[in-house]
């Protein structure tokens, strides 16, 4: 991710508008929480981008910090790349600092599209689970057109990414200096660097929320650890099995075979095949939301219902995410107390 300005310069600029939050970001920028992955962010502005002009000028001007990136959403006036941070919490704080500075909302703003970047390229199947988990776990159910997912790299000759929710990197700059929890025998080994020299799996959330950032960070952590034998490998594999079983119960398991990410495999080129799967997912989720609304208050205690219940896919995904979020924290705290998780 190329951003051509220093993190310190960004924080210095933001400090006057949100001193306490900026201090918190500066203090915890590289702090990784419970072995989760680091978080990168890109902000695509679909409006004229005027709210960012002071910020962009303060960081060195559009030519220096924006034009170096060819990548952006097709309808965006600008794409601001932010330096990666160690946790979803810091990422959210950083966005809040920018909100203070520019004086307008970044979260849940239809003019702003947030791209959440996670280190490590996920394989096709795990990319599908990342996208499906994000979609069903979000606080907003969205309808898409294929054009909503078009970026300047959709048809790029060297790095064709297609029109997808999940996008690989284009081998740009990559900051490896975040802790990676590795399994070594029965122990946790904390490596000071990520095990990837390059490579990311990004998710184009559209109009994103704080919950989306937290969910994507959790999902990516579990799936990347499962793929690259990180400390959460076992938990990640278990999550993958549970997620696939969940989709099977709803007769949606075929969706995972669609090309949710464009890889080097020529068979993954099919934008329409991906979009048909996405539309099926969207239709299923919208139908369920209508069913829930008709049932009214029956679901007030949804969080108390076990994951394997048949109370609907939206509820099951919330429970699944909550279960794994708690489990990662529980096991991590056990480690801190000196025990084996």
Partner 1 sequence: MIRAHQPGSEPIDIPETIPNPVVVPKPTPTPTEPAPKEPVRIPEKVP
Q: From the centroid of its chain, how far is CA 43?
A: 13
In the shown chain, the binding pattern of residues 150 to 179 toward partner 1, with x for contact by CB under 8 A and - for none, equals ------------------------------
134, 167 Cβ separation under 8 angstroms: no
Give me the phi and psi of 236, to 5 degrees please: -65, -40
Nearer to partner 1, 148 or 175 (CB): 148
* Using rule CB under 8 A, residue 312 touches partner 1: yes
Minimum distance, C-beta of residue 288 to partner 1, in the bound complex (Å): 8
* Using rule CB under 8 A, residue 308 touches partner 1: no
CA distance 11 to 84: 13
* Using rule CB under 8 A, residue 217 touches partner 1: no
Give me the phi and psi of 172, to 5 degrees please: -85, -160
CA distance 59 to 221: 31
Half-sphere exposure of 242 (CA within 13 A, CB side): 23
| Three-class secondary structure of residue 98 per DSSP | helix
**Out of 299, 327, 335, 341, the residue judged to bind partner 1 by CB under 8 A:** 299
List, in sequence order, every residue forming a beta bridge with 41; answer none if it has no partner: 82, 116
List, in sequence order, every residue forming a beta bridge with 80; answer none if it has no partner: 43
Paired tokens of 282: 């969207």
**Out of 50, 54, 63, 140, the residue judged to bind partner 1 by CB under 8 A:** 140
Span near partner 1 by CB under 8 A; candidates 26-34, 133-141, 149-157, 324-332: 133-141
Cα 84-85-87 angle, rounded to 5 deg: 135
Minimum distance, C-beta of residue 116 to partner 1, in the bound complex (Å): 17
* Using rule CB under 8 A, residue 113 touches partner 1: no
Span near partner 1 by CB under 8 A; candidates 35-43, 206-214, 217-225, 268-276: 206-214
CA distance 337 to 332: 9
**Out of 31, 75, 210, 250, the residue judged to bind partner 1 by CB under 8 A:** 210
Span near partner 1 by CB under 8 A; candidates 14-22, 41-49, 80-88, 167-175: 14-22
The label of the residue with tokens 């220093």 reads: 6
* Using rule CB under 8 A, residue 90 touches partner 1: no
**Out of 15, 28, 100, 250, the residue judged to bind partner 1 by CB under 8 A:** 100
CA distance 218 to 113: 20
Give me the phi and psi of 73, to 5 degrees please: -60, 145
**Out of 9, 57, 63, 143, the residue judged to bind partner 1 by CB under 8 A:** 143
CA distance 163 to 186: 42
Minimum distance, C-beta of residue 6 to partner 1, in the bound complex (Å): 23
* Using rule CB under 8 A, residue 202 touches partner 1: no
- DSSP code at position 73: B
Residues 230-269 contacting partner 1, CB under 8 A: none
**Chain residues that interact with partner 1, rule: CB under 8 A:** 18-21, 96, 100, 138-143, 207, 210-211, 286, 289, 292-293, 299, 302-303, 312, 314-315, 318
């Amino acid at each position: 991710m190329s951003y051509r300005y220093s993190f310190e310069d960004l924080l210095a600029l933001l400090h006057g508008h949100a001193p306490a939050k900026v201090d918190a970001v500066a203090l915890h920028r590289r702090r990784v929480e419970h072995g989760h992955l680091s978080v990168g962010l890109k902000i695509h502005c679909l409006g004229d981008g005027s709210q960012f002009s002071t910020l962009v000028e303060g960081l060195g001007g559009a030519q220096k910090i924006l034009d170096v990136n060819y990548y952006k959403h097709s309808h965006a006036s600008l794409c601001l790349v932010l330096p990666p941070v160690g946790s979803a919490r810091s990422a959210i704080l950083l966005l809040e600092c920018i909100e203070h500075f520019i004086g307008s909302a970044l979260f849940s703003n239809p003019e702003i599209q947030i791209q959440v970047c996670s280190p490590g390229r996920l394989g096709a199947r795990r990319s599908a689970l990342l996208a499906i988990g994000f979609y069903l776990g979000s606080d907003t159910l969205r309808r898409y057109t294929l054009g909503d997912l078009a970026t300047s790299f959709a048809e790029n000759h060297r790095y064709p990414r297609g029109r997808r929710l999940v996008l690989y990197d284009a081998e740009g700059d990559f900051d490896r200096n975040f802790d990676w929890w590795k399994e070594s025998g029965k122990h946790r080994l904390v490596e000071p660097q990520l095990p990837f020299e390059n490579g990311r799996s990004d998710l184009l959330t559209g109009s994103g929320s704080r919950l989306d950032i937290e969910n994507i960070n959790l999902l990516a952590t579990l799936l990347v650890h499962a793929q690259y034998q990180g400390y959460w490998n076992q938990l990640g594999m278990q999550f993958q099995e549970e997620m696939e079983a969940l989709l099977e119960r709803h007769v949606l398991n075929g969706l995972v075979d669609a090309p949710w990410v464009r890889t080097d495999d020529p068979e993954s080129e099919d934008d329409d095949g991906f979009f048909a799967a996405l539309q099926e997912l969207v239709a299923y989720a919208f139908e369920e939301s209508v069913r829930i609304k008709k049932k009214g208050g029956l679901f007030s205690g949804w969080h108390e219902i076990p994951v394997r219940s048949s109370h609907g896919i939206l509820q099951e995904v919330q429970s699944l995410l909550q279960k794994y979020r708690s489990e990662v924290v529980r096991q991590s705290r056990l480690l801190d107390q000196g025990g084996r998780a």
